[in-house]
Each structure stands twice: as C-alpha cells, then as structure tokens.
C-alpha cells in the first residue's frame, strides 16, 4: 500500500496528464513532436537514456531555457520543484509503467490486518480503519440509535422515520444489540415501496428523465411508464446487470416482454427539438450523441463527449472510436424533429390496464414507423413533423431494419461526415474485453458492460452507491474515472466493493447492506474540533457524514410530518404548488396546478419541465435534467431559507403538523414537546424547551392582538383545516412548527 | 446577531485579491487572481432582445436594396444549406428591403432607422457592431450560445462567470439578476432557466430571476399573518436553537446556516426597498415613460436595472421577448421599438447623468439576425423575415467602450460579413476584457478539463475599446 501510493498511477500519471497530455496525449490532431506520453512504448523514447547519454524528458523538464523547458511557458502550465523531483525519481527508478488504474480489472485486494479489531463490523471497516490509522485518526463512537434510525431511513427511503419506527428500533437495539437491530431495520426499509421510490429518484436524475422535450417551446411528452419500470425494477430488487441490459437493449432481448421494451425508454429520455425551422439531421445527431455521452457518464464514468469533435485529450478514446460507439445508437427508427407535443416515434401504445399487465400481454410491440407530414401550410415551409404519441404511449428503442451508415463527423458536425470510411459498431480498443467476435448491436454493448470483465461498470456503480450515502464517492469525481478524474481515496475498498457487487450476482441491496451495516456508517457525525482541523472535508471518515437533505426529501419530509403525504407508487406526473404563472410569465404554456391528493405526492412525481424546472427543487441543487448528471453539489443559500420559511408547501405543512398534535386536552408545553419530537425524533432538552416555549408565547401574544392574522396564516394551502383548536393557539403552534421545520437538525441528515 | 464574515464567505467562496485595492476593499467573493488588469467597467447591463432583431431594419442600412425589391437573392450570396426549414422550401427568395427611413445621427453620423428615435439621440455614446455572426439558426441553441458560449446546455451563463470571477458589492442582493419582459409584437419566444444558470459552476453564481408577475423574488414575502417583527423574533429563537446544536455537534455548517437565515431576513428588507419606485422623481418617470411603473414592462426593468446597478449588483440581464418577426415584419418591428427604444435611451441617459455610464458596460442585441429575403409573400409592408445567423447587429456603450463609432460591415444584401467579423466568443472575450478579465485565464475545472466562457476561441476587439 505505501508503495502503491507513491506509484505511477497515483503520482506520475496525474502530472503527465495535467501538464503534458494536451500536446503529447491521445489526441493525434494536437500531438506535438510526434511524441505521446500516455503510452509506455512511445514514452520510452524520452524516459530511456538516449545515445548521447541524456534522458530527454528530464532534460526538457529541468531546463531553464524558455525555448527548451517543458511544459512551454505559453502552455500556461508549470511544474513545481516537488513535482519535478517526482518525475526525476520516477525516471531514475526505470520509469515503471502501469495502465491507468480504472482501465485495469479490480483485483481482489488483501483485506487489511485490522480484522481482529473490535470496532470492525465488516471488511469496509478494515479498509477504512487502516487508512484512519495511517492518518493518525480514530473513528467516532457509534451514533445514538435514534440518530441512526433517522439516517437509515433517509438513506434507504428518502423519508424520516415515524416516531413508532424510532422507538421500535431503540427497543430492538436494547434487546438484541445494534447489529441485529440494524439488519432487521434494513430488511424492513428495503421491503418498502418507499425504498424503490427513493432509489428511483437518483436514477431519474442520472437518466435525465423529464416530462417535456427540453428545447424552445419545450412541449409535453409522456414518459412516466418508463419511470414505472424503474420503480418496479427497484421494488423487485432487479440485479444491476439486468437493470443495465434492459434499459440499453430490452427491445433486443429474445422474446422481449413489454416491460423490457418499456425499459429502453432510458435511451429516449434525451431532449428532442421541435423548434420550427430545425434541420432534422442536425438534431438527430444530437440525440445519438446524447446517448453516447450518457452511456459514458452513467455506466463507464468516462467523459466520452470529449471525443466527439477530436480524439480525447486525456483518455485513450479516439474520435473514430467515439463514432464506433455512436454506431450502436445510430439506427433508431426516429426523426430529428419532434411532433411539437406528444411522444416522438418510435413509441408504443400501452394497454389500458397499465401498469397491470397479464402475462399473456407482456410482449414487446412493434412501433409504427415514422410518418412525416407537413408542419404548416405556409408556402415554402419545408418542415415535416412525425406523428405524435398520446398520453397512453411511451417512447422506446426500436432499430431500423436497414442500419444507417455511420461516419466520423468532422468537428462533430452533422453536415461534415468523413465518408471515406464507413464505421461499424465497436468498443474502444482500450476497453475491449470482447475479443472473439466484434459486437454488433446494443444488446452486445449492454452485455459487454456487465460481462464481469469490464473494469469500469461495477466500480462506477458502487462508487455512486457510496456517494449516495456518504455525499462523496470513493472517487470524488463520480462522473469521471478517467485520467483527469480524481484518484480514489480508498482504492482497495473500491475494488473490494466492485467485486462484491459482481460476485453477489450484481445485487445492489447486498452492497447497500454492507455499507449500512459497517461501523464506518454507524459512527456519530459529531465533529470534535481536532478532527475538523485534521480532516475538514471528512475524506478519511473518522466520523459519519452530516449533510443538508436534498430538496425532494425536504418537501417529502414536511408532507410526512404534516400527515399530508400520499403513499401511492407510480403513475403520471403531478402538478403541485408552483409560484403563480410559473410557465406563462416567460413561455407560451400555462401551468395548471392539480388539486386534491396530487398536491401531496412524493416529489419524484412532480412534473418536470426542463426549461423551467420546479424552482424549489432547483434551489436545493436538483439536477436540471437537460443532460445526464450523476453528481450535484450541496449549497447553503439565503434563497433556501426563504423557501423553507415562506413557501406555501412548508407553511401549510407547519399548520397541518400543528393540527395533528394539538388537542384541547394537551397543555401548551405538551404541544411544544410533541411538535419537536415529531420532527426530530427526540425530546427537547430543558434549555431547548425554554426557547421553544418562548417562541410559542411570543407568537401567541401576537395572535391574541391580531386574530385576523391568525386566520390569514391558517388559510394557507389547499388542505382543509380540521382542528377545532382556538385559532390564536393554532396559529402560534403553526409558527412554532415552521421554526422546527427549519431547525438545522431537521433539514440535515445527522 | 451572528453575522459578518461567515455569511459573506459562504456567499463568495474566496477572499478579495490584492490588485486594485480600493475596488477590492468593498468586494465580496470572486477569484483571487481577478481582475487580471485594470477594469474599465465595474458592472454589466445586458439588454437582450430575444427572438433576433432584424439588423437591416434598425442599423444595417442598405439603401440600394430599395431598387431590388422582389429580385431574387443570389444563391452565391445566400446558399441553401443554412436556411431554416421554415423557408428553405420556398420557390423563391425575393429581396425585402426595409421600408424605414434611415438618417445619420449625432456627431458620429451613424445611420439609424426612424423606428429608433430615442436611441438615435444617444448614438454618440454607442459603438455599433454590424458584423456579429453566430453558429446556430434556431432560437434555443442560438440564445443558449449567446448566454453561455455553447449551444449545448450545462455551461455557466455570462453572469455566472462574472459572479464567480468578480464577486459582488452587496451581500444583501444577488450578484447576478435576470429580468424578463414580453414585447407587444406577435411572436414571443420562450425563455429558459438555463439562460441565467450556473452550469457547472457552484450554484450560488446562478442568476436570481426577478419574476415579471407577482412576488418578484420567490418566497421573499412572509406568509400571510406573519409580521416582520414576529418573524424576526422567531428567527432569533431559531438561531438560538441552532447554536445549541452547534455546541453539541461542533459542525461549522450550522454557523453558516444561521448566517444564511439572517441574510435572508435582510433580503426581505432590501428587495422591497429596491422595488419601491415611489422615490423616483417625475422627470425620471417621464424619461423612461409611464411603463416604468408597471412590473413586467421593459421600461420597468430598465429603471430597475439602474437601481440594481446603484446597489452594487454585478450583472443585470434583461430579456425582452418578441423580436421573432416571421411575418408582418415592419409592424412587429415598430411595436418592439415602441416598447423598448425610449427606455433603452433613458437608461443610458440616466446612467450618464449620474456619472455611472463610464463604469457600466451596457450591451444591446439578440441571438441572431434576420434574412434579407422575404419569408412568405412579399409586399412593401407585408413581408416576413426568417432566422439569419450570418450577420447581425449589436451595440455596446459605457465603461471602456469607444463612443460614437460603428465597426464591421456586411455585403450589399446584409447577408454576409465582409469586414471585421465578430463571433459570439469575440463579444464575450471583449466584455470580459472590459471588466478586467483575461478570458483565457478565467477557467473552471469540470470533468477533468479547464473550461472557459469562450471555449477554445475568442479575440478581444481592440477597435471597440476606448
């Protein structure tokens, strides 16, 4: 391990990549002096001693002559003394070479010899602990059971636990020990449809799922049946390999089912342009490129898009290879311009019983081919649009009987094909683990991803599972495991988890269970000052993560506390509260807010208009869903405070919380304690109770003086007021509930 | 209240640089190495004319086309391959000359159309660029390109780059504000949130949209039945409770959160004060026109832009919809000009009389130009114009911009640039340069690559700079 951290991949390649690859890397077009340093054989020319006895690389790097020195001054890059020393050490030790770490298969790493340690619950902990010790750190004590119950619920269901769940978990911990209690609790949570909903949400963002087409007028599409498929997949604990294969190529599976065909909606979630005047081929090329980029980011953790216009500057993917990948997705029976409302072909009509499908009807359908018709009557308007799919359809993948020709596109432009060479589908050479036959279609591509030889697929996915829980992946740049991506903080742990995923039959829940049953996960998140100093970013995990909850979760949580949340899985998107004229103020569409229970469904069902996404979610760093995004940041801004304090969703939820706990028999103090406990899962300390009581008294005094104001506050929101409690008291409690909803403890996972 | 440094640092993500000391003293956030050189302007007001104003109706005067009305625009001048599919199947592409009278204005003698009488009076403040060109022929990619330097979504907008590079001067208002208004012409193209988005930059740099109806800033108002005093008292208790949590857990983010709540509370004061125009004297209202008192009007946004500029906002972006004149072009252009001309000129005038024009960069223009040929049937007043990426006109004024000049030229048809071509990247590079930024150096690492606003292009237009 110590040697490895000083090794080529950890130290030397990042230096070469950052400073040399722009001119001496994979891109043939910008390669200078016909020298490449991303390839051992070529690099030997300058790292071996030449006939003159000199080592050219060192000569140039150590030169003080501005005409000689590398990198040259005009490159705007320079090596520090320490970095130069690293290069000297490397060259002098014979310039040992290794392939980029993520392009090599994970190998079963030796589990560090801390296994005897009492703290360790499973091998995750031994990897973490051995690194902690190297950093001179010790883990935190375990979290309180109540805190842990809350953390598990957020991580596995995206909702807070009920008070009953917390007390039950605490009892179970006392009776049978924490390990057994956690295991049972994980079982309970994973069995719930809430788990499927939570897991689906992250996938919707990565898969750029939305309810509109995304360009210009941004008209409506109907793709929620694909979301139903995702929910079903997580609900039934579909293994990850099948999850990948069905979404990329479910239509090509032998005797494909209707569900498997619907799964391929994944490849149709890209934006579609319906703008008047569009040139169809220009946009069709964009859709294919989007599929390649998405494949790269979400499954391979590579920035494929960089090779669209030229060879990749850092990773071994040539422009030609990019278009060979492009060829897999280039045969869809689609048209480049959309129908300007409704689904774009190819789409299939779903049975009226959807999502309930008889076994006999569970067969893939043949989508109708594109039928073009003139868009407008105006003379000279040459735009033709395809037929539009109605709300009972879903867009799927379907290939043309005769494949389109694929060529390399110069500068990535649709109208500049290099017709001198027809390209067939193929995997980039650097990743080619299939040698026997060259892959022919999307199904081969999908199977290659999960054939157990691919070095990236399992690492990329476990890294994101880790990120989902710890806020940061073992590789921080979860979208890029290539040469310019960050290095893994715990490389052996990453490989161990990747192999666990593969060897468990791609069992997602197995990996999540390993994570959640680890002592690492179960630590307290408190941060003693010395740990804050020694590891401010918590890279080494000597404490659990404490992070602000995502916007989706904050809304769902408030609805849950309020007793408003509707627990019904799947179906079309809903239109909850939005600011007035949210769409019509800057576009040509009108948002028609729903009524009744549609206002209170989980946030993953909220209608997603790409060009004007729900502001409350965006405010809390939701991905905009225009393209594939697998990592979002967590910010802390005044606009977030305004939302949580003033937005109708939260004000109404506060009122309903107050209504839930207030009854004529309860004293004020009992109400205050109950409200606090409802949201935090614990009773307030005495000093906290004093502050809460003070808040209540001030609010109550205000409403006694201003009874009309009390009525105004209680009228916020569509849900009817049911409580018979006197309005000044209820209004004061509503304010208190709003304060509690804004407690840092409540808006964070601790 | 617990405020000060923590609140400011959380907004910004950095400390002021040592360069340009006086300016820096008051600055919040921004990158250490910025400015790279002495800035000519402190802030930007971008008057974006969405939909694509027709260059030959406003500034790009082509008197000879009068005699060629209805003649075919030669294929050698306008090849077919980049015509949009809205008009590419037309049997003919007849020249549609502008019916408007042009005259030379001011000391500089720059030609201006009769539909811009107010702008004409300010002409000696402007530098008119007739030789802009863009890559895109559809609204969505073209406007995205103008605002972010790329047709593909996901890149930060201009204002976000400036917020990231330069920070701001007022902690109680956002560094970057986006305003929108609808024109009275027939066709209004939609706007998209990505146009003021932060892309891959940290999201505190995204523009805050001031809405054109109802509550200007989302959720800025307390709920009904909650007074400011009551809210203040409750927030004080919230801070106490959060401080207790901080004492237990020691997480510094809790202190940051407390500061953000206090900042939000202050914004609830500063935003209404900003939007209260009652203190504006009559002669100012008269200057901008009565529309300046109606939320959602272009004139209102112009006056608001001045007020935002006074309060230290770094980038103020107006979007005015309605320039997409596919038919009845002259009528639509007249309406659009009636909506905007007076207030645009008033803003320049107002900034000038306050001594602010010299330090404010004002930019006017849209995402592309319009075709010289008629889309659809042609008559003197009754023709349309399709999208045209080959040339269009923009102007800049104020901080660091050469006054009273016109640069670039197009061919006799107003189809192709023949002199001084200016790309969108050049425009961006120049704007950044005027603000003290070298566009090559303002980069952000994303997906392993150092991205910049100007991608791999962009030249500063020296002839534009004073």
Nearest Cα to Cα of residue B100 among B317, B330, B265? B330
Do A128 and A147 reside in the same domain of the chain? no
Could you tell me if A638 and B207 are in contact, meaning their C-beta atoms sit under 8 angstroms apart? no
The CA–CA distances, whole Å, from B464 to A630, B358, B461 equal: 42, 15, 6
- Residue B36 DSSP code: S
First-to-last C-alpha distance (Å) of chain A: 32
- Tell me whether residues A735 and B230 touch, CB distance under 8 A: yes
**DSSP secondary structure string for all residues of B154-180:** TSPPHHHHHHHHH-BS-TTS-SEEEEE
| pLDDT at residue A430 greater than cutoff 60 | yes
- Position A289 confidence tier, pLDDT thresholds 50, 70, 90: very high
Range of the domain at A536: 124-141+462-548
Closest partner residue to B219 among A635, A647, A695, by Cβ? Answer: A647
Pairing of strands B126-133, B422-423: parallel
Nearest chain A residue to B324, by CA: A276
d(CA A47, CA A51): 12
Q: Are B19 and B166 in contact (CB under 8 A)?
A: no
pLDDT of residue A377: 72
Tell whether A743 is covered by a domain: yes
Report the interhelical angle of A707-714 vs A648-661 (nearest 10°): 110
The answer to whether residue A597 sits within a structural domain is no
pTM, two decimals, is 0.92
Q: What is the chain B residue with the closest CA to A218?
A: B190
Cβ neighbours, 10 Å, residue A104: 12
Q: Helix, strand, coil shares of chain B as percentages rounded to 5?
A: 40, 20, 45
- Determine how many CB atoms are found less than 10 A away from the CB of residue A390: 11
For residue B3, pLDDT beyond 80: no
Q: Which residue, A435, A361, A347, A349, is CA-closest to A397?
A: A347
Q: Enumerate the residues of chain A whose CB falls inside 8 A of the CB of residue B375.
A: 380
B320 CB near a chain A CB, below 8 Å?
A: no
| Beta strand B110-113 pairing with B176-181 | unpaired
CA distance to partner chain B, nearest, from residue A313 (Å): 9
- Residue B19 above 50 pLDDT? no
Q: How many domains does chain B have?
A: 1
| Structure-token pair, residue B54 | 């027709």
List CB contacts (< 8 A) between A626 and chain B.
153-154, 194
Report the relative pairing of strands B126-133 and B405-407 from DSSP bridges.
parallel
Per the CB < 8 Å rule, is A218 touching B190?
A: yes
DSSP A574: B
Check CB contact of A478 with chain B, cutoff 8 Å.
Answer: no
* B107 has a chain A CB within 8 A of its CB: no
For residue B23, name the pLDDT band (cuts at 50, 70, 90).
low
- Among A29, A643, A744, A750, the strongest candidate for a mutation testing the B interface, having the largest count of B CBs within 10 A, is A744
Do A438 and A509 belong together in one domain?
Answer: no
Residue A88 lies in a domain: yes
Q: What is the mean pLDDT of residues A650-655?
A: 98
Helices (H), A681-717: 686-705, 707-714
Long-range CB contacts (within 8 A, 24+) of A119-123: A119/A519, A120/A519, A121/A179, A121/A517, A121/A518, A121/A519, A121/A522, A122/A514, A122/A517, A122/A518, A123/A496
Mark whether A279 and A351 lie in a shared domain: yes
Mean pLDDT, rounded, of chain A = 93
Q: From the CA of A279, how many Å to the nearest CA of chain B?
A: 6
Query: How many CA atoms, within 13 angstroms, populate the side-chain half-sphere of residue B104?
Result: 6
pLDDT of residue B307: 97
Condensed to tens digits (0 to 9), the pLDDT of residues B72-112 reads 999 999 988 778 888 988 989 999 999 999 999 999 999 99
Which residue matches tokens 């935003």? B271
Residues in A touching B192 (Cβ below 8 Å): 218, 610-612
- The answer to whether B426 and B458 have CB atoms below 8 angstroms apart is yes
Is A278 in Cβ contact with B241 (below 8 Å)? no
Put simply, whether A705 touches B (Cβ < 8 Å) is no
pLDDT category of residue B8 using cuts at 50, 70 and 90 = very low
Q: What is the pLDDT of residues B341-383, one digit of tens each?
A: 999 999 999 999 999 999 999 999 999 999 999 998 888 778 9
| Mean pLDDT across A307-331 | 95
Query: Which residues numbered 167-226 in A keep a CB inside 8 Å of some CB on B?
Result: 215-218
Peptide bond into A346 cis (omega under 30): yes
Verify that A322 and A398 share a domain, yes or no. yes
Q: What are the tens digits of pLDDT across the range B274-306?
A: 999 999 999 999 999 999 999 999 999 999 999
Say if residue A542's pLDDT is above 90. yes
Element (H, E) at A443: helix A442-449
- Residue A617 within any structural domain of the chain: no
Residues in chain B: 466
Domain span at B151: 5-464
Same structural domain, A135 and A152: no
B166 neighbors B435 (Cβ within 8 angstroms): yes
For residue A8, which of A31, A55, A53, A40 has the smallest C-alpha distance?
Answer: A40
A296 and A215, same structural domain? yes
Same domain, A181 and A219: no
Q: What HEC string does A229-283 produce?
A: HHHHHHHCCCCHHHHHHHHHHHHHCCCCCHHHHHHHHHHHCCCECCCCCCCHHHH
Q: Strand, helix or coil at A385?
A: strand
Q: Is B220 close to A276, i.e. CB distance below 8 A?
A: no
Domain count of the fold of chain A: 5
In terms of phi and psi (left: phi > 0; alpha: psi -120 to 50; beta: otherwise), the region of A419 is alpha
Do A688 and B260 count as a contact with CB atoms less than 8 A apart? Answer: no
**B67 CA to chain A: closest CA distance, Å?**
24
Integer Cα distance of A728 and A714 in angstroms? 10
Instruction: Read off the pLDDT of each residue in B132-151 and give the average, rounded to a whole number.
Output: 95
Does a structural domain hold residue A498? Answer: yes
Mean pLDDT rounded to a whole number for chain B: 92
What lies within 8 Å, CB to CB, of B241 at 6+ separation is A688, A691, A692, A739, A743
Tell me if residue B15 falls in helix, strand or coil. coil
- How far apart (Å, rounded) are the C-alpha atoms in residues A718 and A697? 27
Same domain, A426 and A466: no
C-alpha span between A208 and A228 (Å, rounded): 15
| 3-state SS, residue A154 | helix
Chain B closest-CA separation from residue A90 CA (Å): 24
Summarize the confidence of residues A83-94 as an average pLDDT: 88
Same domain, A426 and A542: no
A593 falls within a domain: no
Chain segment B162-213, per-residue pLDDT in tens: 999 999 988 889 999 999 998 887 667 899 999 999 999 988 899 999 999 9
Q: SS3 string of B295-346?
A: CCCHHHHHHHHHHHHHCCCCEEEEEECCCCCCCCHHHHHHHHHHHHHHHHHH
Of B140, B248, B448, the CB nearest to A275: B140
- Chain B residue numbers with beta carbons less than 8 Å from the beta carbon of A216 are 138-140, 189-190
A680 touches chain B (CB under 8 A): no
Which tens digit of pLDDT belongs to each residue from A614-644? 999 999 999 999 999 999 988 888 999 999 9
From the list B193, B233, B449, which residue is nearest A612 (CB)?
B193
Give the pLDDT of residue A348: 98
Please check whether residues A295 and A217 belong to one and the same domain: yes
pLDDT of residue B262: 94
Same domain, A257 and A296: yes
| Any domain includes A222 | yes
Locate A297 and state its tokens. 């980011």
Select from A454, A463, A462 the least CA-distant residue to A431: A454
Q: Are A61 and A84 spatial neighbours (Cβ–Cβ below 8 Å)? A: yes
Q: For residues A307 and A293, give the distance between their C-alpha atoms in angstroms, rounded to a whole number.
A: 10
- Both A133 and A148 in one domain: the answer is no
What pLDDT, on a 0 to 100 scale, did the predictor assign at position A439?
Answer: 63
Q: Among residues of chain A, what percentage have pLDDT more than 90?
A: 78
- Per-residue pLDDT band for A432 (boundaries 50, 70, 90) equals confident
Q: Count the helices and strands in chain B (H runs, E runs).
A: 12, 17
User: Is residue B21 predicted with pLDDT exceeding 70?
Assistant: no
Phi, psi of B113 (to 5 degrees): -75, 150
Residue A239, number of CB atoms within 10 A of its CB: 18
pLDDT at residue A7, as a whole number: 77
């Amino acid at each position: 391990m110590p040697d490895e951290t000083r090794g080529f991949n950890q130290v030397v390649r990042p230096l070469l990549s950052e400073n040399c690859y722009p001119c001496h890397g994979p891109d043939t077009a910008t390669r200078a002096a016909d020298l490449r340093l991303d390839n051992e054989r070529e690099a030997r020319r300058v790292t071996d001693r030449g006939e003159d006895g000199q080592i050219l690389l060192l000569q140039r790097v150590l030169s003080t002559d501005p005409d000689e020195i590398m990198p040259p001054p005009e490159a705007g890059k320079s090596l520090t003394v320490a970095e130069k020393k690293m290069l000297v050490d490397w060259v002098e030790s014979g310039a040992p070479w290794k392939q980029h770490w993520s392009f090599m298969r994970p190998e079963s790493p030796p589990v560090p010899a801390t296994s005897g340690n009492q703290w360790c619950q499973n091998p995750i902990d031994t990897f973490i602990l051995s690194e902690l010790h190297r950093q001179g750190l010790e883990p935190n004590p375990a979290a309180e059971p109540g805190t842990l119950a809350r953390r598990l619920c957020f991580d596995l269901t995206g909702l807070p636990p009920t008070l009953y769940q917390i007390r039950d978990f605490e009892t179970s911990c006392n009776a049978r020990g924490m390990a057994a209690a956690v295991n049972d609790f994980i079982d309970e949570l994973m069995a719930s449809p809430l788990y499927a909903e939570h897991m689906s949400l992250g996938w919707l963002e990565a898969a750029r799922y939305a309810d509109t087409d995304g360009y210009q007028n941004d008209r409506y599409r109907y793709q929620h049946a694909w979301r139903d498929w995702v929910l079903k997949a997580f609900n039934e604990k579909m293994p990850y390999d099948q999850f990948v294969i069905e979404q990329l190529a479910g239509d090509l599976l032998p005797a494909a089912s209707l569900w498997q065909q619907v799964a391929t909606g994944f490849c149709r979630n890209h934006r579609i342009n319906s703008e008047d005047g569009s040139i169809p081929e220009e946009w069709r090329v964009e859709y294919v490129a989007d599929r390649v980029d998405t494949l790269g980011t979400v499954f391979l953790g590579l920035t494929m898009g960089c090779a669209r216009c030229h060879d990749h500057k850092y990773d071994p993917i040539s422009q030609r290879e990019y278009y060979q990948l492009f060829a897999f997705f280039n045969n869809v029976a689609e048209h480049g311009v959309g129908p300007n409302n409704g689904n774009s072909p190819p789409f299939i009509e779903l049975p009226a019983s959807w999502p309930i499908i008889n076994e006999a009807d569970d067969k893939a359908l043949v989508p109708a081919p594109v039928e073009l018709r003139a868009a407008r009557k105006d003379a000279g308007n040459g735009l033709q649009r395809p037929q539009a799919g109605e709300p009972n359809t879903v867009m799927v993948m379907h290939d043309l009987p005769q494949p389109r020709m694929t060529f390399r596109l110069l500068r990535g432009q649709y109208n500049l094909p290099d017709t001198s060479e027809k390209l067939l589908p193929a995997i980039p050479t650097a990743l080619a683990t299939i040698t026997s036959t060259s892959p022919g279609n999307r199904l081969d591509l999908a199977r290659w991803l999960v054939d157990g030889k691919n070095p990236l697929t399992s690492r990329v996915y476990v890294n994101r599972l880790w990120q989902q829980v710890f806020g940061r992946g073992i590789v921080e740049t979860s979208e890029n495991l290539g040469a310019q991506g960050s290095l893994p903080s715990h490389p052996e742990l990453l490989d161990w988890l990747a192999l666990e995923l593969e060897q468990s039959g791609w069992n997602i829940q197995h990996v999540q269970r390993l994570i959640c049953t680890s002592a690492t996960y179960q630590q307290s998140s408190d941060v003693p000052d010395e740990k804050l100093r020694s590891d401010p970013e918590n890279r080494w995990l000597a404490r659990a993560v404490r992070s602000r909850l995502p916007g989706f979760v904050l809304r769902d949580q408030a609805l849950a506390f309020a007793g408003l949340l509707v627990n019904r899985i799947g179906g079309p998107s809903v239109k909850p509260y939005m600011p007035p004229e949210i769409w019509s103020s800057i576009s040509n569409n009108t948002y028609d807010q729903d009524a009744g229970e549609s206002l209170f469904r989980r946030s993953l069902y909220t209608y997603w208009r790409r060009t004007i996404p729900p502001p409350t979610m965006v405010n809390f760093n939701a991905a905009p869903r225009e393209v594939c995004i697998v990592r979002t940041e967590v910010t802390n801004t005044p606009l977030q405070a305004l939302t949580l304090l003033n937005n109708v969703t939260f004000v109404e939820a506060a009122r309903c919380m107050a209504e839930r706990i207030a009854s004529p028999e309860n004293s004020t103090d009992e109400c205050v304690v109950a409200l606090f406990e409802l949201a935090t899962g614990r009773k307030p300390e005495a000093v906290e109770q004093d502050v809460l009581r003070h808040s209540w008294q001030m609010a109550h005094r205000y409403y006694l003086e201003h009874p009309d104001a009390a009525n105004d506050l209680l009228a916020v929101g569509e849900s009817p007021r049911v409580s018979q409690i006197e309005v000044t008291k209820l209004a004061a409690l509503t304010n208190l509930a709003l304060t509690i909803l804004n407690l840092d403890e409540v808006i964070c996972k601790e | 209240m617990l405020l000060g440094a923590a609140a400011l640092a959380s907004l910004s993500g950095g400390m002021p640089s040592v360069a340009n000391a006086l300016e820096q003293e008051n600055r919040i956030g921004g990158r250490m190495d910025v400015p790279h050189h002495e800035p000519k302007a402190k802030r930007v007001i971008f008057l974006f004319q969405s939909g694509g104003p027709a260059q030959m109706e406003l500034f790009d005067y082509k008197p000879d086309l009068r005699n060629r009305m209805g003649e075919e625009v030669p294929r050698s001048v306008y090849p077919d391959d980049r015509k949009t599919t809205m008009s590419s199947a037309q049997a003919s592409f007849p020249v549609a000359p502008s019916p408007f009278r042009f005259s030379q204005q001011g000391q500089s003698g720059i030609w201006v159309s009769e539909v811009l009488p107010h702008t004409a009076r300010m002409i000696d403040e402007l530098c008119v660029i007739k030789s802009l060109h863009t890559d895109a022929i559809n609204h969505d990619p073209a406007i995205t390109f103008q605002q972010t330097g790329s047709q593909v979504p996901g890149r930060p907008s201009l204002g976000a780059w400036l917020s990231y590079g330069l920070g701001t001067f007022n902690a109680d208002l956002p560094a970057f504000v986006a305003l929108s208004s609808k024109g009275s012409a027939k066709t209004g193209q939609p706007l998209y949130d990505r146009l003021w988005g932060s892309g891959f930059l940290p999201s505190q740099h995204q523009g805050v949209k001031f809405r054109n109806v109802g509550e200007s800033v989302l959720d800025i108002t307390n709920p009904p039945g909650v007074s400011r005093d009551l809210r203040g008292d409750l927030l004080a208790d919230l801070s106490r409770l959060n401080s207790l949590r901080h004492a237990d857990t020691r997480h510094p983010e809790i202190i940051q959160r407390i500061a953000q709540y206090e900042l939000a509370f202050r914004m609830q004061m500063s935003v209404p004060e900003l939007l209260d125009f009652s203190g504006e004297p009559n002669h100012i209202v008269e200057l901008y026109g009565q529309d300046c008192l109606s939320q959602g009007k272009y004139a209102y946004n112009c006056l608001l832009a001045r007020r935002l500029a006074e309060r230290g906002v770094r980038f103020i972006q107006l979007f005015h919809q309605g320039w997409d004149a596919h038919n009845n072009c002259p009528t639509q252009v007249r309406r659009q000009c009636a909506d905007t001309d007076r207030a645009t000129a008033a803003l320049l005038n107002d900034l000038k009389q306050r001594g602010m024009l010299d330090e404010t960069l004002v930019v006017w223009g849209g995402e592309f130009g319009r075709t010289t040929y008629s889309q659809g049937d042609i008559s003197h007043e009754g023709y349309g114009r399709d999208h045209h990426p080959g040339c269009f006109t923009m102007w800049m004024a104020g901080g660091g911009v050469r006054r009273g000049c016109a640069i670039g030229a197009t061919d006799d048809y107003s189809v192709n640039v023949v002199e001084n071509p200016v790309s969108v990247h050049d425009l961006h590079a120049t704007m950044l340069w005027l603000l003290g930024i070298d566009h090559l150096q303002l980069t952000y690492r994303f997906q392993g690559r150092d991205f910049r606003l100007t991608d791999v292009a962009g030249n500063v237009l020296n002839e534009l700079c004073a």
